[in-house]
Chains A and B, each alone.
Chain A
Amino acid sequence: MNEQNNQSTKSSLALHGRDKLLNQLEDFLKGAPGDQVELVLEAEQIGVTRYAHSRIHQNVSHQDSRLWVRVLVNGAVASMACNSLDPATVRETIQRAAKTARMLPDRTHQGFAARNDESQGERNEDGGTRNEENTLNSSPSFFESTAGQTAVERADAIGRIVELIGAAGFEGYGTYTNTVTELAVANSRGLRAYAPATSGYIKALVETAAGDSAGYADQLERDVTRLDPEKAAAIAIQKCRLNVNQRELAPGDYAAVLEPNAVADMVRFMVYHGCGAQQLQDGRSFMTGRMGEQVTGANINFWEDPGHPHAIPFPLDYEGLQARRVPLVIAGQATGVVYDRTTAAKEPGRVSTGHAGSPWNSLEQGPTPSHIVMEAGTRSIEELVSGLKRGLIVTRLHYTHCPDPRRVVATGTTRDGTFLVENGEIVAAVKNLRFTQSVLELLAGVEELGQPKTCQDWWSANGMSSFNYYLPALRVARCTFTGATTF
């Protein structure tokens, strides 16, 4: 390593704070036109350091504040967004949204929320609430330690990773990302909501110089002091050492131990395509017509839990409502989906569960769970493997997709360590395989649940989505592989 510059450099990420952001929104609301106005402000600061061939090749920082304006006139809503908080620009943005709303023929909007605990639910005829199983657990989402981290500290953590990797005779690839985000929502009906969040994410991919063996580990936390770069490096090095002389294995059905990162990719398609109210209302969810029925094995239980300390907690949604815990699949039965105010309004007595998605997401998937917690066991991955007579260990999956959302068929290739196990022992590394199977079928055959891990699916780990999971490794009776690759 070069020691070209030991100068201490400070470029930590600073918080705007509740008062500053909500006061700013308050000022913008004064004298705003339209029947109702809602402002969503998202401030984001990101530091990303990437390394390849054991050197930092990209190091970036980014700060932005994006304001989303929704104006309601005579039941019609128009939206405009800008990334300038200059008062004149914001006033003009609100005026234009109002002007557009006046021209719209649709007059069906229900109006904005008046208070941010609306998602707690209202009493129904039975005296209960539609969200009665929900509890709000307010685990902290913001840590000063993460916001205060500097580019030098990220670089030095990577330095320690690549030093270990180099000492093992390999090359390192990966990323260290830290973020500070703040969400503030205010509207002319009096709703005021604010929450800050931080995250730190470290990825360690270890490869031989020839690129013919690889191992991987990652760690995601709200608090960077919990990150253990050396441990991630050690796990990835161990995987890479084992992942040699890969054997070509015929596609087919195998028992398997799926590590948590791979399980997240499977569960992703259940929640993305099936656990939001819009999918259910459109008739596209695996729960459509099956609410209360068995959809997986009885040992499968998972919830949306935005307050869970290990599921990257965040207390609000983009309508400023408190995000609630929602059971999704309990004892293998289709149990519930998440709602925003628009989808809740379509069902009498229903209220939002606090899951309105980001207005900047152009996919318009509707409300979607993004803090998924699955009931876990206590056994380590090694202990799950010990119970495998003949089967595979899957470290993680790459570029997964869902060819049939209604049946939740998932496909993707294994990478960075796929191993053949016989009588509880790894007997060979295996060339990567393509998995293609209904996740519902896969989860109907779970033999054992291991220890949980905070993780993301492949899409979210790479910034294309924002699903966080706290879920276990699984030993499954049948995992279907339909193809193989050459490495």
Chain B
Amino acid sequence: MQEEELDENLLMAALDVARRAGVAYAEVRGVNGLQNEVKVKNGQISRMQSQQDRGWGLNVRVGAGWGFASSAELTAESIKRVTEQAVQLARASARVQPSSQAEIYGEPSTAIGEYTTPLQIDPFKVPISEQLEMLYSTDANLRRANRVKVAETHVKAFRTRKFFANTAGAHQRQLVTECGGGASAIAVEGPYSYQRTYGRLNTYSQAGYEYILSLQLEDEALRIGQEAHDLVAADWVPSGPTTVVIGSNLAALMVHETCGHPTELDRVLGSENAFAGGSFLLPDMLNQFDYGSPAVNMTADATLPGGLGTFGWDDEGTPAQRVALVEKGCFVNYLSSRDTAAAIGLKSSGAARASSWARTPLVRMTNVNLEPGEGNLANLISGIEDGLYLETPSSWSLDDKRLNFHFSAEICCEIKNGQFGKLYKGASYQSRTPIFWGNCQRIAGPEEWRLWGFLNCAKGEPLQSAHVAHGAAPILVTNVTVQREG
């Protein structure tokens, strides 16, 4: 499927129409998206598809009311219609505003520029036959272990061309390429079935096909299939408090759920209370609250090469930034947008993102990372007499302020006298965010740190499924109560 250029003249014309309609502020965003996916299940192609998605949206403010309208059509007629709709929505919003509504709006962006993903191999130019050859081989390797009944493997690629402009003079072009792949094996034995995946399918990067090749799916499939085969017949994990080492992939999801979401400032200010929930990290806790132990440093870094949360400018036109969220265990900043930051006297941290042309920007994660400590995984477990190693999430659930959580791991392995031992299945653990991170004693070093790409971070109404990334190295946490699932 061919990429098409965006008609920037028509998009800019929408701003003129909005100005003439008397708006206080307007921003327009046009997006052309392409997506390819090839998937093989149990030796057969289960999905061979290509999707094109293009359109544009206009966000306007009239008084204290915001309105956002969008359309797949970009014509002189649709500009008039969509602008009229956006203004009508803003005026409707203004009908339900407290008279005390403060008119605090952050400074709009005036940034101008271009951003393009650096890549070596264009994933949209790799022949399907080459992709299928790799996937058939991966699928066969997944099923070499005889308890594996369902094997699935896939590759996906995304290309997004975006144009942004606003009535303050910002004007930006971005061309983002993302791709990745995955492998999953489900083993069945008697009354049990058990799934083992390659990184919970969070193996995506803003990069070219060279990233997919680096995943070594065919080799990893042998390990994953064997682990699924072993796990379904393994003993259930022993319950009780213990010291755990949590692998990079599971630690990355924990960062997402227990740091990324509660530091989203729109949640803190109540915008998501009726859906995703609020946050326990209130503004008066900034620079005061011990979120974790001194070993814990977390950042939001939209400038990190390869991350799904990397860009030139966010969807309000604010430049990409690296922001500390937790420093030496202390909670120090939020992920924020222009208006949410202004509401508490801060500057936007450049985290306003929209999942498509048809969605208005919300505060989203970028690349929210747990910064590495020191040493490799062997160093990390070497001092543990009796503990457990947990890797790859299988389920996760948090309360609506992100305090109490429940995570389950696909794979669990005992640690005895500094060495890995027996395999267990069904390990889960439950804790509260500051208690858990307060007990985080050590974090492995850069040699174990890995950046994972998540395709499905859900938030907002109508729903927005965002691409975000998280880097983490394995962590050592004491006093964690591990339970058998359910």
Please report A residues at the B interface, Cβ cutoff 8 Å.
Answer: 1-5, 7, 9-11, 46, 48-66, 76-84, 89, 92-93, 96-97, 100-101, 103-106, 108, 150-152, 154-156, 158-159, 162, 171, 173-175, 177, 203, 205, 207, 211, 282-284, 288-289, 359, 362, 364, 398-407, 409, 411-413, 415, 432, 434, 436-438, 462-464, 482-487
Contact = CB atoms under 8 A, between A and B. Distances in A.
Given A9-B88, A413-B397, A84 B47 contact: no
Given A205-B274, A486-B432, A81 B50 contact: yes
Contacts of A62: 69-70, 358-359, 462
Contacts of A58: 66, 68, 93, 271, 360, 461
Given A52-B273, A103-B129, A173-B274, A413 B458 contact: no
B19 interface: no
A413 B404 contact: yes
B50 A486 contact: no
Interface in B427-469: 428, 430, 432, 458, 461-463
Interface core residue of A77, A106, A288, A404 (most chain B CB under 10 Å): A404
A457 B474 CA distance: 34
Contact of B486 (A1, A403, A432): A403
B55 interface: yes
Contact of A484 (B94, B129, B278, B404): B404
B176 to A, nearest CB: 19
A84 B463 CA distance: 22
A462 B275 contact: yes
Given A48-B462, A52-B273, A412 B397 contact: yes
Contacts of A174: 274
B462 A177 contact: yes
Interface of B: 1-2, 37, 39, 44-55, 63-72, 85, 88-99, 101, 128-129, 132, 149-150, 186, 188, 191-193, 269-271, 273-278, 358-360, 394-401, 403-404, 406, 408, 426, 428, 430, 432, 458, 461-463, 483, 485-486
B95 A4 contact: yes
A46 B359 CA distance: 11
B394 A82 contact: no
B188 A283 contact: yes
A84 B486 contact: no
Interface hub of A3, A82, A92, A438 (most chain B Cβ within 10 A): A82
Nearest to B149: A283
B1 A404 contact: no
Given A403-B486, A413-B399, A173 B186 contact: no
B146 to A, nearest CB: 14
Contacts of A411: 395, 397, 406, 486
A89 B394 CA distance: 41
A415 B399 contact: yes
A63 B72 contact: yes
Interface centre among B63, B191, B277, B400 (most CB of A within 10 A): B400
A41 B428 CA distance: 43
B98 A177 contact: no
B271 A52 contact: yes
Nearest to B64: A2
Contacts of B458: 462-464
Contacts of A207: 273
A60 B92 contact: no
Nearest to B401: A487
A52 B269 CA distance: 9
A53 B274 CA distance: 11
A34 B486 CA distance: 50
A284 B96 CA distance: 49
A151 B273 CA distance: 22
A55 B1 contact: no
Most chain B beta-carbon contacts within 10 A, residue among A46, A55, A100: A55
A56 B1 contact: no
B97 A80 contact: no
Nearest to A172: B274
B437 to A, nearest CB: 16
Given A80-B1, A403-B394, A485-B432, A106 B91 contact: no
Given A399-B399, A462-B463, A61 B85 contact: yes
A411 B399 CA distance: 11
A364 B39 contact: yes
B483 to A, nearest CB: 7
A104 B193 CA distance: 32
A364 B182 CA distance: 14
A402 B149 CA distance: 21
Given A59-B68, A462-B461, A155 B397 contact: no
Nearest to A80: B50
Contacts of B64: 2, 55
Contact of B89 (A53, A54, A151, A406): A151
B237 to A, nearest CB: 12
Contacts of A401: 395-397, 406
Contacts of B95: 1-5, 56, 152, 155-156, 159
Contacts of A407: 486
30 contacts: A2-B64, A2-B98, A5-B95, A49-B92, A53-B98, A56-B96, A59-B92, A62-B69, A76-B45, A79-B50, A80-B1, A84-B54, A100-B48, A152-B88, A173-B273, A175-B275, A282-B193, A283-B186, A284-B193, A364-B46, A403-B394, A403-B486, A413-B400, A413-B404, A415-B277, A432-B400, A436-B486, A438-B486, A464-B458, A485-B403
Given A5-B95, A56-B65, A283-B188, A84 B52 contact: yes
B406 A108 contact: no
Contacts of B485: 403-404, 409
A438 to B, nearest CB: 6
Given A1-B99, A83-B54, A463-B461, A404 B48 contact: no
Contacts of A4: 63, 65, 91, 94-95, 97
Contacts of A93: 1, 52
Contacts of B88: 9-11, 151-152
Contacts of B94: 2, 4-5
A59 B486 CA distance: 41
Given A84-B72, A364-B46, A434-B430, A59 B274 contact: no
A83 B72 contact: yes
A482 B91 contact: no
Residue in B2, B67, B275 with the greatest tally of chain A CB atoms within 10 Å: B275
Nearest to A204: B274
B53 A83 contact: yes
Q: Which of B89, B91, B398 has the most CB of A within 10 A?
A: B89
B47 A96 contact: no
A463 B65 contact: no
Contacts of A162: 96
Nearest to B485: A403
Q: Shortest 7 CB-CB distances between A and B: which pairs?
A: A409-B486, A463-B463, A485-B404, A9-B88, A413-B399, A79-B49, A151-B92
Contacts of A53: 98, 270
Nearest to B458: A464
Contacts of B404: 413, 432, 434, 483-486
Nearest to B394: A403
A256 B64 CA distance: 45
A244 B85 CA distance: 42
Contacts of B68: 58-61
Nearest to A410: B486
A154 B93 CA distance: 10
A12 B67 CA distance: 15
A220 to B, nearest CB: 14
B54 A96 contact: no
Contact of B93 (A155, A400, A402, A403): A155
